[in-house]
Structure 1
Amino acid sequence: AFRLPQAGSKDADLLTLVDKILYNGTAGLIDLNLVQSQKVLRAYSYADILQDYSAHILMADPKEGQKMEDLRDLLLAQLDKIKKGEFPDWLLGAIINNMKLDETKEMENNSSRVFKMVNSFILGEKWEHSVARIARLSQITKQEIIDFVKKNYGDNYVVVYKRTGEDKNVMKVTKPEITPVEVNRDSQSEFVKKVLAMPVKDIEPVFIDFSTDIQQLKIRNTIPMYYTQNKENNTFNLYYVFEMGSNHDRKLNMAINYLKYLGTSLYKPDELKSEFYKLACDFGIYTSTEEVYVSLSGLSDNMEKALQLFESLLADPQPNEEALKNLVSDELKNRADAKLNQDVILWQAMYNYGIYGPKNPFTHILSEAELKALKAQELIAIIKGLNGYEHHVLFYGPQSAEAVAEALTREHKTPATLKPVPEPVKFEELPTGSTAVYVVNYDMKQAEIMMLSRGDVFNKEWSASVRLYNEYFGGGMSSIVFQDLRESKALAYSTFSSFSTPDKKHKHYYNMAYIGTQADKLPEAMKGMNELLNNMPLTEVAFTSAKEAIIQSMRTTRVTRTEILFTYERARRLGLDYDVRKDVYSKVLTMNLEDVKKFQEKNIKGKNYTILVLGDKNAINMKTLELYGTVKVLSLQDIFGY
């Protein structure tokens, strides 16, 4: 990290451009020389521009066996390239175009608009100065940047290495006695009463009409396209959606990750990245257990050129054996790192174990031997074959639907007949027939508890009840769970409960309760959560607040832009052909606390749970856990599958 001058200065503008030359996510020196070339596991930089002074921070994660000092030298070498002027002349213009694109996208969002004003205020900048930032940056020359880096980036940096080891200086604090605080849920301050009494004209809700807000077309009479027009600005978003994922092919994730390091017969990998950046467009591929999203976005003026580039990559990826070797090595390093990450252990590995058992989507991956046996050509074949499967298209942009369909008919390379997606490996959501407790031993001072209980399959008639119950009982800082366990009794540093809706119509609801607490508070915390789940406190004031929060949220929320298309996608997967929020709003208006009580008694009270506990088993009271059900200690290999 380097310390540099404050916001509002010419140096802060120069810092902004230096950072983008180093790292812009696509064509910066760090992007191409370190990440794309696989010299590090991860690397990036960012400029922290503040009122007193600014900081330029460069970060990298090591590959297996790589020294921290080597990472430092690789990062500093990118700064040396700037000092020597070793970055392309076109890059500055491309940075400005991409910053204009980013600002256009940011200004679509109310929070971003407000933050821009807040940031201008707290940095002490005049508003005119803030809004003219890109215009100023566009006037800065390459030589000014070279001179700035030579002057400000020498040996004047701080370097921090995070190493594995034991902290010998840990201080222990005696556990204090906690006196519960009485939660005054039914009282209101005079100030709150005054605010609530202010006259406010209600805003009427607006719901999506899929028949008018989305236009449906066909590409070559075979590929469905769902289209919503962008009437705000000159940007577009294009998605190819395949209803297949790692459950259908375990090699798919590796093929998708491999694509990022490939070029075509016309462009080397770094050249391809640069070409996209010049166009102020970007592509991405997201894969999950059941879906693949292939995306392209950017300035609509350049959409067709970007589409041609992207389609050429999908149709003509060139194998790179060295890149595959590095990819496999990095994947194994990532897997080892995942076993050290509390969030991955609990929210991915243990969660999937709790839902499906030892054979589940999280463990449905290639073994180390299978990874090392992968051949470049078989991954290339998967990439080339992707467009040959049935899929549909989502598009949001200023172009007419007909113009988009024509462009895709010309450029989207598919065979005359599309193959149906392969059958997936099916994983059954296990019934919660009895309460079982699974403990994973992990060296930590805290304990994290997740409780899962399978409910019925999706029922659209429950949508309003689920929303109101979650808001009232476990959804936020004013919910029953948070107020009781954290605010009143100080039994948790984080806690919530949610009755979660499935993403597909054949899947089940799940009631989840979470507590993050100190290991020595686990008995009281679990007792407290169970009492709340089985005997939900009833308070009209909290219920009225929860009900009003939902009503006001639905009145003021507007589903716009690409979210219209994704709302349709979510509805379709649940077997719905309309915006279900309409049902939620109309029903919540007439619901009362008794309705929430009945829902809780039917779906939550007295249910069995799969209880997942992450913590140091020597610090956890195992006798307490045995009160809830049979306790089984799992290893990391049990839950990760490797």
Structure 2
Amino acid sequence: MLHFVRLQLAAWLLVAGGLVAHAQSAKSYDWKTGTSPGGYTYKYLANDPMQARFYTLKNGLTVILSENKKEPRIYTFIPTRAGSTTDPRTNTGLAHYLEHMLFKGTDKYGSLDWAKEKPLLDKIDGLYEQYNKTTDSTKRKAIYKQIDQTAGEAAKYAIANEYDKLMASMGAQGSNAFTSYEQTVYLEDIPSNAVDRYLAVQAERFRKPVLRIFHTELEAVYEEKNRSLDNDGRKVNEALMAALFPTHNYGQQTTIGTVEHLKNPSLVEIRNYFNKYYVPNNMAVIMAGDFNADQVIGKVDKAFAYMQRKPVQLYTPAPEKPLTAVQTREVYGPTPELVQIGYRFPGGLAANRAVAVMVDELMSNSAAGLIDLNLNKAQKILGGGSSPQFMKDYGVWMMYGRPKKGQSLDEVKTLLLAEVEKLKSGNFDPKVMGSIVNNYKKNQIESFESNYGRADELLDAFILSGGNSYPSLLSLNDQLARVTKQQVMDFAKEYLRDNYVVVYKRKGEDKSIVKVDKPAITPVEMNREAQSPFLKQVNNIPMSDVQPVWLDYGKDIQRGKAGNAEILYVNNPDNDLFRMGYRIPMGTYHSKLLPLATQYLSFLSTDKYSAEELSKAFYDLASNYNIYSSGDYTTVRLSGLQENFAKSVALLDHVLRNCQADEQALADLKERTLKARADNKLNKGLILQGLLSYAQYGPKNPYNNQLTNDDVQAVTSAQLLDVLHTLFDYPQRVIYYGPQPLAALGTSLTQAHQMPAQFKAVPARNNFKQVAQQSPEVLFADYDMVQSEIFWVRNTADFDPAQLPTIDLFNNYFGGGMASVVFQTLRESKALAYSTYAYYDTPSRKDQQYSVNAYIGSQADKFHEAIAGMSELLNGLPESAKLLETAQVNMKKNLQTERIRQDNIIYNYLDAQERGIDYDVRQKTYEALDKMSYADLKKFSDTQLANKPYTLCVVASEKRVTPTDLAKYGSVKKLSLDEIFGY
């Protein structure tokens, strides 16, 4: 299942020629104490831009609060400092199991009759213990049959997904959780007026969780495990960690667990784990958003006061022995080859963390790192980078590289290691270190603008140290500024020796895969209409009114001019950052050369600067740009510090107007492009995207609207330079979010951005028309995998904005989340998939059609069951008054508290324009919600979805899903990869 309030940046740094001059000494991040009404003492840091408060309640529960009044919502984490490292070696995957089960309710909710349900659940407990101790396969099947039968009886008393209904009814978004090495975290995004309801539900959730509907949820975990077996990236990481940590649980047990332990779960052990680690002195409540901390702390205390402190023995392993030799591992699978190298160094609380971060940034920062410049920009490899990971006991630093055509993985490894040697010898530009500091600060400002970014930083502090490490984490910027070149060299010499693990990801069959087989599961009852007294009690807790705020495009967006280009402007009152885009009405539908030309640009010099100097120049300015081409538009985006706005704009103009041909760079780019294209054909996600486009548009479609490989080989520098040099000669609108006043912006742009007196005419557009599905059809692509990916596609009616309210409600009710019909039926009741959803898709242009999209990813041996399950839902919309009410309430509360802000206002306006709309469509939906009924959704479903011919897009292994299997669902067309990709 799965970092800022306003800052005076000028007080932090001055940028001049890429060097950092500190305007004041580093801030002091020392703990201070304060007291809230009611006697709640908290710790805080005087210079904390998030103004976070750290409370410890009497029972040991940590509460961390950060107020942010930008929108009436709150992001919340409830973490437990226990994850896969604290799983018993005999029951790996247990923490992850438990994470799933904490969505199933307690004795107070999720049950129709707890007195009758409990004996059946106790019986299931005992049956699983028998099952675990039995080795005879015939006896195991007999016991499992009893489990399935008893679970079916118990499910008659269960109310599935009542947790999700509780959260949806208060307007929560993104209910989810994740488990990793040292943490299990439960997350919610709630309206600011839902605090009382939220705390009531969460306090109850952790009071006495009931492991109901266990065997169907276990099947979802089986699915998750099988998906991981199809994930070569995960397999590479697991191999790397296992070799780096031959004794530590980081490497010796995975989060999902072993196949053997998945097949033999113990509810008794799961319950013991909960009782051992889910105690207040090992947990936290973290909230960032619109609330009053003085009031909220009392509410949290009252809600969780029932929890009793217990001694907690966390995982404290013996130190790993130093690695004294290179460890080599190999992983096989269908995806493209790569090499990954990993080093072990001190953990997240180590004093030299800042040096480790600097080392990583010097190697790879996406712009001016050694790998970025010397390998990626020099086109010596197909692509590469690095990243650190800081856990409590150890840190891990990883590099990866993908080979060019004809290049061996050993050659890529040698190139990566050669860049490490440059760190050791000091063969790098120390000026880049100052730029790293600037960019790190800019990124932190951007992160702290969001509630999620704030909560995420506070989560790290709690997991690493219970919160005590927060001053160190918050002052990381200042620590980075003090890192010296000698420290970098010393760190690299000490930790980056011949003590690494190298994993070669090779293309080929993975013969080690042991799939988790599908057990016989009888679908369980859902009791969709049932409600526990607890749910009714929570829904009766008052929520204060929050009035929705709709966009008024005439007032919320200011308009100006720069030359003959229109400026769409929104002011940034919070900090000194800007984001700007030049939106040009010419995309890949007008020119297939655009994507290749913009890639070519990154390798080119100008008459004044080399390609490497340009990368460093943008990075020194703490600004970055990218050029993105969709079908109809090309947007040139630029962002950074406002004080460097004019320099950044002028530099970008200079690059595009004055880039010069480099024939060797073009030859290398062609070679890398062809290799990347070959690699794309090994990516099942990209293959599925191509199938979907084929299903919607036919053989000639937007996805395969590509230069052929022969076209790529024939392209000249002159052609690509013409695209780049003239890009700003075409019509454009300027999208700006930043602190500069509009009038001054127009002047700045006119001086720094060259535009012609008259724009050039845009080339003719290549039109793609959606096809009508006249009869059932199957589009199939063969791929070596355990799972099967199945997508239903159907184009329906022409775009009509009057249908949008009905469509929004239908999507929420039918297939939009964990409380939807699709999820509850196919995953919760029938255990057919880990991931499944469906939606009625709204086109991006007024001249396009709506379309139906439905997805289920399941084990190949469930292929027919999965298709039958989704088809049944598409052909007959189930009726549930309670689910409909939940969907309506959820949407209404979300619309009341949703705030479209910053440059999203402009992009929302532009999207509306493309659909021929000049108003905020959310208002129409909000006003229509209370007037709509199930009959409206049924009529819509019968008209647009039910009993219609669909195109079924299937990616699976032909060994597991045969042509005979496919032929049951329509005429079969097995597509070649050339047909899918267009090259």
For normalisation by structure 1, the TM-score amounts to: 0.97
Preserved contact between residue 523 and residue 621 of structure 1 (Cα < 8 Å): no
Residues of 1 paired with 2:749 and 2:518: CA distance? Answer: 65
Deviation digits for residues 339-370 of structure 1 (CA, Å, limit 9, x no counterpart): 111000012x1111101111112222112221
With over 3 angstroms needed to count, the CA separation of the structure-2 counterparts of 1:595 and 1:626, relative to structure 1, is same
Amino acid at match of 1:340: L
Change beyond 3 A, Cα 1:626–1:149 = closer
- Between the aligned residues of both structures, percent identity stands at 39
Q: Does 1:345 align with 2:687?
A: yes
Q: Deviations over 1:121-146 (max 9, x none)?
A: 11114333322221222122221221
Partner SS state of residue 499, structure 2: coil
Match of 1:233 in 2: 575
In the alignment, what sits opposite 1:39?
Answer: 380
**Cα separation, 2, equivalents of 1:306 and 1:619:** 54
Identify the range of structure 1 (121-130 vs 260-269) with the bigger mean alpha-carbon deviation. Answer: 121-130
SS class of match (1:273): helix
Which of 402, 405, 409 is the matching residue for 2:743?
Answer: 402
Pairing partner for 1:146 from 474, 483, 489: 489
Distance 1:97 1:544, change over 3 A: same
2: CA distance, partners of 1:121 / 1:193? 34
The amino acid across from 1:286 in the alignment is: Y
**Alignment of 1:165 onto 2:486:** no
Give the number of equivalent residue pairs.
640
Q: Would you say the 8 A contact 2:582–2:733 is kept in 1?
A: yes
Q: Does 1:100 align with 2:441?
A: yes
Is 2:704–2:979's contact at 8 Å kept on the other side of the alignment? Answer: no
| AA partner of residue 156 (structure 1) | N
**Match for residue 468 of structure 1 among 801, 809, 815:** 809
Alignment of 1:364-443 (within 5 A): 364-443=705-784
1:243 to 2:580 alignment: no
Aligned-residue offset at 1:218: 2.1
**1:434 touches 1:608 (CA, 8 Å); kept in 2?**
yes
Would the aligned equivalents of 2:515 and 2:786 in 1 still touch at CA under 8 Å?
A: no
Unaligned runs of 5+ in 2: 1-341
| 173 and 54 in structure 1: CA distance in 2 versus 1, 3 angstrom threshold | closer
**Are the counterparts in 2 of residues 4 and 54 from structure 1 also a CA contact under 8 Å?**
yes
Measured after TM superposition, the shift of residue 48 of structure 1 is 0.5
Which runs of structure 2 are paired with 1:1-400 in the superposition (5 Å)? Answer: 1-124=342-465, 125-171=468-514, 175-220=518-563, 222-347=564-689, 349-400=690-741
Corresponding residue SS for 1:104: helix
RMSD of aligned residue pairs (Cα, Å): 1.5
1:497 corresponds to:
838
Aligned counterpart, 1:563 = 904
1:508 is aligned to: 849
* Counterpart-to-counterpart distance in 2, 1:153 and 1:107: 33
Shift of residue 171, structure 1, vs aligned partner: 3.3
Larger deviation: 306-315 or 8-17? Answer: 8-17
The correspondence for 1:479, drawn from 781, 796, 820, is: 820
**Amino acid in structure 2 at the alignment position of 1:309:** L
Instruction: State the alpha-carbon separation in 2 of the partners of residues 361 and 211 from structure 1.
Output: 34
Q: 1:611 corresponds to which letter in structure 2?
A: L
| Normalised TM-score (structure 2) | 0.64
Tell me the secondary structure at the aligned position of residue 650 of structure 2.
Answer: helix
Structure 1, unmatched stretches of 5+, are none
Are 1:207 and 1:582, in contact at CA under 8 Å, matched by a contact in 2? Answer: yes
Seen in structure 2, the aligned counterparts of structure 1 residues 598 and 174 have a Cα distance that, compared at 3 Å, is closer
Report the CA distance between 1:637 and its aligned residue: 2.3
Deviation (angstroms), 1:190: 4.7
Q: Which amino acid aligns with 1:518?
A: Q
| Matching of residue 634 in structure 1 with residue 975 in structure 2 | yes
Structure 1 residues 27 and 519, CA, compared in 2 at 3 Å: closer, same or farther? same
Following TM superposition, by how much is the alpha carbon of 1:591 offset from its aligned partner in structure 2, in angstroms? 2.1
Residue identity opposite 2:499 in structure 1 = N
CA distance in 2, matches of 1:575, 1:104: 36
CA distance in 2, matches of 1:620, 1:83: 53
Letter matched to residue 8 of structure 1: L
CA shift digits 1:306-338 (9 cap, x unpaired): 111110011100111111111111111111111
Q: Retained in 2: the 8 A contact 1:19–1:47?
A: yes
1:391 deviation in Å?
1.6
Within 1, Cα distance between the matches of 2:700 and 2:510? 37
Deviation at 1:621, TM superposition (A): 5.0
Output the CA distance in 2 between the equivalents of 1:76 and 1:167. Answer: 28
The CA distance in 1 between the partners of 2:638 and 2:511, in whole Å, is: 50
Is the CA contact 1:4–1:11 (under 8 Å) kept in the aligned structure 2? no
The amino acid across from 1:122 in the alignment is I
State the AA in 2 paired with 1:458. Answer: F
* Alignment match, 2:179: none
Task: Return the alpha-carbon distance in structure 1 between the equivalents of residues 785 and 669 of structure 2.
Answer: 31
Q: How does 1:599-618 map to 2 (within 5 A)?
A: 599-618=940-959
Residue identity in the other structure for 1:563 = N
- Name the CA distance, whole Å, in 1 between partners of 2:516 and 2:440: 49
The corresponding residue for 2:201 is: none
Q: In structure 1, what is the equivalent of residue 864 of structure 2? A: 523
